[in-house]
């Protein structure tokens, strides 16, 4: 890992391997090029590693019977009732047919609601251009540019679905909608619900949707790769987009966290929903979350690439390995990644957690070499 820092491919990183109750942490490099050193308690933007936390929050409400997995979301999200669906992905947005069924809570958790990222260049299809005109186009997390949740949902509701509910897996939008669903079903602001039901019980004191001024010097600067291979600043720490509360606390990619905090969350899931006597979820709910819910037909027409689901599936906010193609990816392993530079995996068979936090944005949907090398190094160290 030090070689990646020495070559300047990442300014710094925190790597965690925890197995059988023994935890090894490495912090190296700097929070920004030429800046203060990275420490174990440095704060990183975890982007899409927010999604598993949002899924846990949803399952808390399911366990309390405030939500039901196969109920329509219309009662809580009436803006999504009576949806229209594009006749084809390249059709004009007025060329629609009625939705064959309502969107359910399960659809949001598994990203099968019928709307999400299209794997085509921006502006390729009319639906992409219409979404961009409303400020709803896909891109790296940018909380300062997103309106309040109700306003955001009102804009989204003017667009048709891309596909019929349940037809395929489409990335991201399900978790954003869950943010609003949880808020309305719980009768409590989404950040407050996460704080009370997940973060405080697990001791995740540095996880939230922004970094307070008193702690801002612990936040790593975010970098974006350039075509020439250099890194340009994407988001500063002081005065950046995560230095103040967002108008819309996104359950898809809005959180910042530390390695210690996310390790507590990962340990809770690996232990079947509890951590040091504090129960967040039941073991059956964790098992349901970490089970592959995609059918072969859905996998065949989904994913970032044609082979995306060849060896994996998707549960509730997490990817699940279904075929072992690498030593570091055993069947049953689950987790998710953050496109601003972080990865997490839980391996129930090995009783093992791997976490890597960097501040380098990914340049493709696939994990970069620093992540793959980290996993390889972690698994080759197993000696029993």
pLDDT digit string (tens) for 105-141?
A: 999 999 999 999 998 888 999 999 999 999 997 789 9
Handedness of CA 352, 356, 357, 362 (dihedral sign): negative
Closest-CA residue to 77 (of 4, 183, 169): 183
State pLDDT tens for residues 251-263. Answer: 999 999 999 999 9
pLDDT at 340 over 80: yes
Predicted pLDDT at 366: 84
Q: Can you tell me whether residue 270 is helix, strand or coil?
A: helix
State pLDDT tens for residues 79-107. Answer: 999 999 999 999 999 999 999 999 999 99
Predicted pLDDT at 4: 96
pLDDT at 160 over 90: yes
- Model confidence at 194, in pLDDT bands (50, 70, 90)? very high
Can you tell me the distance from the alpha carbon of 327 to that of 376, in angstroms, rounded to the nearest whole number?
7
Q: Can you tell me whether residue 223 is helix, strand or coil?
A: strand
Q: Which residue has the tokens 């009319």?
A: 126
Number of Cβ within a 10 Å radius of residue 271: 15
Number of Cβ within a 10 Å radius of residue 148: 13
The backbone torsions φ and ψ at residue 313, rounded to the nearest 5 degrees and listed phi first, read -135, -165
- Is residue 190 within 8 Å of residue 56, measured between CB atoms? no
State pLDDT tens for residues 198-216. Answer: 999 999 999 999 999 999 9
Q: Which residue has the tokens 């093992």?
A: 352
At 131, list the tokens: 């979404």
At 168, list the tokens: 């395929």
pLDDT at 336 over 90: yes
For the purposes of burial, counting CB atoms within 10 Å of the CB of 35, is it exposed (0-12), middle (13-18) or buried (19 or more)? middle
Predicted pLDDT at 134: 95
For the purposes of burial, counting CB atoms within 10 Å of the CB of 27, is it exposed (0-12), middle (13-18) or buried (19 or more)? middle
pLDDT at 68 over 80: yes
Q: What is the widest separation between alpha-carbon atoms in the chain?
A: 61
- Is residue 43 within 8 Å of residue 28, measured between CB atoms? no
Q: Name the percent of the chain lying above pLDDT 90.
A: 95
Tell me what the mean pLDDT of segment 31-37 comes to. Answer: 97
Q: Taking each helix axis as running N to C, give the angle between helix 173-186 and helix 149-156, from 0 to 180 degrees, rounded to the nearest 10.
A: 130
Can you tell me the distance from the alpha carbon of 357 to that of 344, in angstroms, rounded to the nearest whole number?
9
Q: Any residues with CB less than 8 A from the CB of 9 and at least 6 apart, and which?
A: 360, 370
Closest-CA residue to 176 (of 92, 55, 265, 275): 55
Predicted pLDDT at 199: 98
pLDDT at 306 over 90: no
- Is residue 279 within 8 Å of residue 268, measured between CB atoms? no
Q: Can you tell me whether residue 133 is helix, strand or coil?
A: helix
């Amino acid at each position: 890992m030090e070689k990646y820092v020495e070559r300047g491919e990442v300014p710094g990183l925190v790597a965690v391997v925890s197995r059988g109750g023994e935890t090894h942490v490495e912090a190296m490099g700097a929070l920004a090029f030429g800046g203060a050193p990275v420490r174990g308690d440095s704060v990183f933007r975890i982007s899409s590693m927010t999604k598993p936390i949002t899924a846990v929050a949803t399952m808390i409400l399911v366990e309390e019977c405030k939500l039901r997995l196969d109920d329509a979301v219309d009662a809580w999200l009436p803006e999504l009732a009576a949806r229209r669906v594009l006749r084809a992905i390249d059709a004009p947005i007025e060329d629609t047919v009625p939705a064959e069924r309502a969107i359910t809570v399960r659809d949001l958790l598994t990203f099968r609601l019928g709307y999400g990222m299209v794997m085509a260049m921006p502006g390729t299809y009319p639906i992409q251009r219409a979404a961009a005109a409303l400020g709803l186009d896909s891109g790296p997390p940018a909380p300062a540019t997103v309106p309040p949740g109700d306003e955001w949902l009102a804009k989204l509701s003017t667009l048709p679905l891309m596909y019929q509910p349940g037809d395929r897996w489409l990335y991201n939008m399900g978790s954003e909608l869950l943010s609003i669903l949880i808020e309305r079903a719980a009768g409590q602001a989404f950040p407050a619900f996460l704080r009370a039901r997940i973060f405080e019980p697990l001791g995740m004191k540095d996880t939230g949707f922004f970094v307070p001024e008193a702690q801002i010097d612990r936040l790593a600067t975010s970098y974006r790769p350039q075509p020439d291979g250099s890194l340009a600043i994407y988001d500063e720490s002081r005065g950046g987009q995560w230095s103040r509360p967002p108008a819309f606390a996104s359950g898809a990619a809005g959180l910042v966290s530390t390695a210690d905090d996310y390790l507590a969350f990962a340990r809770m899931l690996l232990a079947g929903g509890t951590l040091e006597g504090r129960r967040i979820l039941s073991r059956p709910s964790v098992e349901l979350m970490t089970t592959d819910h995609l059918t072969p037909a859905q996998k065949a027409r989904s994913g970032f690439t044609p082979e995306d689901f060849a060896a994996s599936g998707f549960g509730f906010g997490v990817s699940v390995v279904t075929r072992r193609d690498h030593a570091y990816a055993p069947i049953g392993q689950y987790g998710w990644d953050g496109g601003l530079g972080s990865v997490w995996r839980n391996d129930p068979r090995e009783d093992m957690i791997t976490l890597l936090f960097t501040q380098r944005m990914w340049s493709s949907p696939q994990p970069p070499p620093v992540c793959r090398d980290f996993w390889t190094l972690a698994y080759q160290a197993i000696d029993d």
